A and B are shown apart, each in its own frame.
Chain A
Amino acid sequence: MAFKRQIDRLPIIPSDAKKQNVTCHFCIVGCGYHAYTWPVNKQGGTDPSQNIFKTDLSKQQGGDTDAWYAPSMYNIVQQDGRDVHIVIKPDKGCEVNSGLGSIRGARMAEMSYSKARATQQQRLTHPMVFRYGQMQPTSWDDALDLVARVTVAMLKEPGGEDNLFVSAFDHGGAGGGYENTWGTGKLYFEAMKVKNIRIHNRPAYNSEVHATRDMGVGELNNCYEDAELCDTIVAVGTNAYETQTNYFLNHWIPNLRGSSLQKKQQELAGEPHAQARIIIVDPRRTSTVAACEVEAGKDNVLHLAIESGTDMVLFNALLTHIVEKGWQDKAFISASTKDFDKAVAANKTSLADAARITGLKAEDIAKAAAWIAEPKEGRRRRAMFAYEKGLIWGNDNYRTNAALVNVALATGNIGRPGGGCVRMGGHQEGYSRPSDAHVGRPAAYVDQLLIEGKGGVHHIWGCDHYKTTLNAHKFKQAYKKRTDIVKDAMNAVPAGDRPALVAAIVDAIKKGGLFAVDVDIVPTKIGEACHVWLPAATSGEMNLTSMNGERRMRLTERYMDPPGESMPDALIAARIANHMERILRELGDAKYADQFKGFDWKTEEDAFMDGYHKHEKGGQFVTYERLRAMGTNGFQEPASDFKDGKIVGTKRLYTDGKFGTKDGKATFMEAQWRGLQAPGKEEQKKKFKYLINNGRTNHVWQNAYLDQDNEFIMDRWPYPFIEINPDDMKELNVSAGDLVEVYNDDGSTQAMVYPTPTAKKGHTFMLFAFPSGVQGNVVNAGTNELILPNYKQTWANIRKLASAPASVKHLSFKSQEYKMG
């Protein structure tokens, strides 16, 4: 049987409940929510005077009602040391989601730490250190002293700050936030100049969208409303229904359905308008494709099921064809760009060549070009380009990114209503750090260096390499070996003898060991190898600011206590700095110690004022108090003023035709096809039978760090799925729900067979970054020249491990596509 909560009644929110602003801390969309809290011994009633909705709750409420919440939106948590009821429900007044929740965000309450209702009991509550052969709770001072002593000792060894390796979140929402990126950034980039640093989902400290930035086009340059205004949406490698859900539902669908027509006529008068069309570039037929077909009609959806990794060729052919037809925006190109002719010449690709390489039909490529750029009754067509991991984590990232931005620039679609060339995003953003220029370009391939035995101390902040890196199988083997050397050394001395312990650790490091400190909210897979765990607070347990995919900045107010003694990352960073300063003074190095001054923050707001407020563009207009007043709609960055009690924001970037280059001109870029670029990919493709395409599913947020402790999700996905065509299944002699091994020369992993008739033969799709089967195990170590991983183009063989276990017998393996009944 499917999991059921057997909840037949929920406490009613009383009319005097406390209401707090919340931005969903999961995906980039950043939907607006409110957290309502009230004392645990009180409850509202069904009479309109007794509940927050002023509604008669003794009656059935209609569809889309504000006056209902699901059991997943309810919990009992602690607030200021007391148990309170909490309901976290989507906000109808938020322009981002207009009251919509998704399967991920609408479980925020249920995925909060609750002793009373035993949810998220996996959360870390106290600092833990490796002592007497296992992780043991200890005090902050004890844990921080050990971290600081070992870290400082290694800074004093040859190699200095290069001995310290760091893995750190750099995003927003639960993946950072301005407070926490600043806290960690100030520690590693100002107090120190750490260059062996990487980000949560890739093995180096680099941009996923280097090319667009180099061209002068920041990657979040439009607003969500542009999806309602455009003539054509061009979606590349993004399965928006499942991974940017409410952006898709609330802004793409209305245009595809034609219900934003009136808005188009009003805001863009004087030109013809129709419901939007959509081009979807994806080797796989996704649930997004199915939903678009239902809403827009098949004639208005062009699914380009491209040969995996050949996107650049398609974009170059589009550019070539558009220019041949004379559909480019000549005025815009001459006023605001440079190197157009050079790029057109260098990237020239015929429809026939493109068809051969991409596997698409030439006429479909021509059709896509027309949908993007053919003038509509003499007026420029408005196209919005949106791309994500299919491109970002795909073949030849840099050039492919450039080739797409070329098309957007050539058609004058940046800085204009109904335009934009944007990444869709994974996490929200929330980056505020001192300069990272010392990291260099290309940045250090941190995971490879760790495998090679480099580095002595590893500080990890909200990252789990074991689940989210490439070459993960080899990484884990090397990492375990190195951290075990230190564990064995720690076991050999009495834990209470601090000097002896530090000396033993340093000695073990010199013998190839690695001392690892894991700062996280839950025990992670990599954490199993670490020697110290420091418990962090997450969004809502602290005040947290972030921005979403249209640069919309909001403050999530602290609505509950952090579990146990856990603290905001910003303050953990500050406390590490304080302890390092103390130890350096103890060692008589006052000069070095002085670099660790400036961390006397008491609250996350102190970190915000020190970081974002002082350092970011427009930051001087932004304070917690002002953000609180701006509610769930916030403002769009950058801020330009504070007027009439409101922060004034920026709806779109580059509306004046001036771009982010020295001369203000956006630069077209050469992007020439060179096949599968990353080392080892061509060989892997030749040797192994199945494409192991991979990505996310609707149900799961990120690497399932919270979902792994949520019954509703683990009931649906006890194992990562692998979608396989039924003919391939016959050849492999496997059935629905069987466990299979996916293996190649780089590693092996497991997945559960999900029969998928729409999958092409030889093409599979596996859930990425899942705890019970890590796809990264079979991704080879090859990256692009800027150390961007290529997770998508992976080939492996498949063999049966076990027939469907009892734990999957209750599952459905039916089509995930919506069909009209």
Chain B
Amino acid sequence: MKGCDKLVDAGRRQFLRGGAMATVGVAASTVLPTNEAQAKPAPARVEYPSNRLANLSQLKSNEPLDISYPDRNSPGVLIKLGTRVPGGVGPAGDIVAFSTLCPHKGYPLSYVAADKTLTCPGHYSVFDCEKSGLQVMGQATQNLPQFTLRVASNGDIFAEGVDELIYGRLSNVL
């Protein structure tokens, strides 16, 4: 695996390693019904939890807040962009949240405030936070997974869904 090691310059890069923390494992298909009558219909999509990420009062314009969703092994950011964007929530329609595991090879993305983009030190991908995570340039084969948000009347912000497969898991909810 020499090529693999070459790519990972541990001295310069912080790596997120999975599996270190306990996770709730849900196998996708371990229950096989013996006949139709007994079958409990399985939902067609994964069940997303509704997780509180933060309160509106905690957000400062153009300062990303580290979050995780749907569980703590799936890091993301919550950003108040300062301008209304498609898919944005909150009073100004400017709050969005994204996975920060690069959908190319899972390197951690970081936020470039000047551009309002998330960029990847792995292989130089750039995702536009104002354009629902569109990959401006890069090697991922999908745009950045965005978390679906809801704001409660008390200003609490909840994440309740994901629109693309998150890197490093073959089911968004493990």
Shortest Cβ distance from A51 into chain B, in angstroms?
9
Cβ A62 vs Cβ B168 within 8 A: yes
Residues of A within 8 A of B2 (CB): 98
| B94 interfacial by beta-carbon distance below 8 Å | no
Residues of A within 8 A of B40 (CB): none
Chain B residue at minimal CB-CB distance from A59: B19
Cβ B19 vs Cβ A60 within 8 A: yes
Known: A1-B132, A2-B134, A698-B137. A62 touches B17 (CB 8 A): yes
| A690 interfacial by beta-carbon distance below 8 Å | no
Known: A95-B3, A698-B137. A812 touches B128 (CB 8 A): yes
Residues of B within 8 A of A62 (CB): 15-19, 106, 168
5 A-B pairs with CB atoms under 8 Å apart are: A4-B142, A63-B17, A63-B106, A250-B3, A816-B137
Cβ A59 vs Cβ B25 within 8 A: yes
Shortest Cβ distance from A72 into chain B, in angstroms?
4
| B139 interfacial by beta-carbon distance below 8 Å | yes
Known: A5-B164, A12-B170, A60-B169. A815 touches B115 (CB 8 A): yes
Residues of B within 8 A of A686 (CB): none
> Footprint of A on B, CB under 8 Å?
1-4, 6-9, 15-19, 23, 25-30, 45-46, 71, 73-74, 86-87, 101, 103-112, 114-115, 117-126, 128, 130-143, 145-146, 162-165, 167-174
Candidate in A63, A97, A716 with the most chain B CB atoms within 10 angstroms:
A63
The interface-forming segment of A39-47, A332-340, A421-429, A495-503 is: A39-47
Partner of B141, one of A73, A254, A810: A73
Known: A1-B132, A46-B25. A7 touches B6 (CB 8 A): no
| A662 interfacial by beta-carbon distance below 8 Å | no
Cβ A70 vs Cβ B132 within 8 A: no
Cβ A61 vs Cβ B169 within 8 A: yes
Question: What are the 6 A-B residue pairs with the smallest beta carbon separation, nearest first?
Answer: A98-B3, A821-B110, A58-B25, A818-B124, A60-B18, A2-B134
Chain A residue at minimal CB-CB distance from B73: A60
Cβ A821 vs Cβ B112 within 8 A: yes
**Interface membership of chain A positions 96-132, coded 1 if the CB is closer than 8 angstroms to chain B and 0 otherwise:** 0111111100110010000000000000000000000
Please, how many angstroms separate the alpha-carbon atoms of A815 and B142 in the complex?
Answer: 19
Residues of A within 8 A of B23 (CB): 58-60
Known: A45-B27, A98-B3. A72 touches B134 (CB 8 A): no
Task: State which residues 459-495 of A face B: CB under 8 Å.
Answer: none
Partner of A45, one of B1, B30, B121, B143: B30
Cβ A58 vs Cβ B27 within 8 A: yes
Partner of A68, one of B86, B130, B167: B167
Shortest Cβ distance from A294 into chain B, in angstroms?
8
Known: A9-B172, A10-B165, A47-B27. A816 touches B16 (CB 8 A): no
Chain A residue at minimal CB-CB distance from B146: A4
Please, how many angstroms separate the alpha-carbon atoms of A755 and B166 in the complex?
Answer: 31
Known: A1-B132, A58-B25. A259 touches B18 (CB 8 A): no
Besides the contacts A61-B106, A98-B3, A819-B117, what 16 more A-B pairs have beta carbons closer than 8 Å? Answer: A4-B143, A4-B164, A5-B163, A45-B29, A56-B19, A61-B168, A61-B169, A68-B106, A68-B169, A92-B3, A103-B141, A287-B124, A290-B124, A698-B137, A812-B130, A812-B136
Cβ B18 vs Cβ A72 within 8 A: no
Residues of A within 8 A of B87 (CB): 1
Count of A residues near B, CB < 8 Å?
Answer: 71
Candidate in B28, B73, B107, B124 with the most chain A CB atoms within 10 angstroms:
B124
| A260 interfacial by beta-carbon distance below 8 Å | yes
Residues of A within 8 A of B138 (CB): 103, 698
Please, how many angstroms separate the alpha-carbon atoms of A71 and B165 in the complex?
Answer: 7
Known: A101-B139, A287-B137. A65 touches B106 (CB 8 A): yes
Residues of B within 8 A of A820 (CB): 110, 112, 119, 121
**Interface membership of chain A positions 74-99, coded 1 if the CB is closer than 8 angstroms to chain B and 0 otherwise:** 00000000000000000011110111
Cβ A811 vs Cβ B121 within 8 A: no
Cβ B1 vs Cβ A8 within 8 A: no
Known: A60-B19, A712-B141. A257 touches B8 (CB 8 A): no
Chain A: interface secondary structure? loop
Shortest Cβ distance from B106 into chain A, in angstroms?
4
Chain A residue at minimal CB-CB distance from B14: A63
Cβ B142 vs Cβ A712 within 8 A: yes
Residues of B within 8 A of A68 (CB): 106, 167-170
Cβ A810 vs Cβ B132 within 8 A: yes
Please, how many angstroms separate the alpha-carbon atoms of A37 and B141 in the complex?
Answer: 21
**Interface membership of chain A positions 1-25, coded 1 if the CB is closer than 8 angstroms to chain B and 0 otherwise:** 1111111111010000000000000
Residues of B within 8 A of A100 (CB): 7, 105, 123, 139
Please, how many angstroms separate the alpha-carbon atoms of A68 and B130 in the complex?
Answer: 28
Please, how many angstroms separate the alpha-carbon atoms of A47 and B135 in the complex?
Answer: 33
Residues of B within 8 A of A812 (CB): 128, 130-131, 134, 136
Residues of B within 8 A of A95 (CB): 3
Residues of B within 8 A of A815 (CB): 115, 126, 136
| A451 interfacial by beta-carbon distance below 8 Å | no
Shortest Cβ distance from B71 into chain A, in angstroms?
8
| A249 interfacial by beta-carbon distance below 8 Å | yes
Residues of B within 8 A of A729 (CB): none
| A184 interfacial by beta-carbon distance below 8 Å | no
Candidate in A60, A64, A103, A698 with the most chain B CB atoms within 10 angstroms:
A60
Known: A99-B3, A810-B132, A818-B119. A58 touches B174 (CB 8 A): yes
Residues of B within 8 A of A69 (CB): 170
**Interface membership of chain A positions 802-821, coded 1 if the CB is closer than 8 angstroms to chain B and 0 otherwise:** 00000000111011111111
Shortest Cβ distance from A446 into chain B, in angstroms?
36
Please, how many angstroms separate the alpha-carbon atoms of A259 and B71 in the complex?
Answer: 35
Chain B residue at minimal CB-CB distance from A713: B141
Known: A45-B30, A103-B141. A65 touches B168 (CB 8 A): yes
Residues of B within 8 A of A698 (CB): 137-139
Please, how many angstroms separate the alpha-carbon atoms of A215 and B168 in the complex?
Answer: 50
Residues of A within 8 A of B8 (CB): 63-64
Known: A95-B3, A100-B105, A712-B141. A57 touches B170 (CB 8 A): yes
Residues of A within 8 A of B114 (CB): 819
Please, how many angstroms separate the alpha-carbon atoms of A60 and B112 in the complex?
Answer: 26
Cβ A9 vs Cβ B46 within 8 A: yes
Residues of A within 8 A of B18 (CB): 59-62, 65
Residues of B within 8 A of A249 (CB): 7, 123, 139
Partner of A8, one of B26, B101, B133, B172: B172
| A245 interfacial by beta-carbon distance below 8 Å | yes
Please, how many angstroms separate the alpha-carbon atoms of A60 and B145 in the complex?
Answer: 16
Shortest Cβ distance from A603 into chain B, in angstroms?
33
Cβ A103 vs Cβ B140 within 8 A: yes
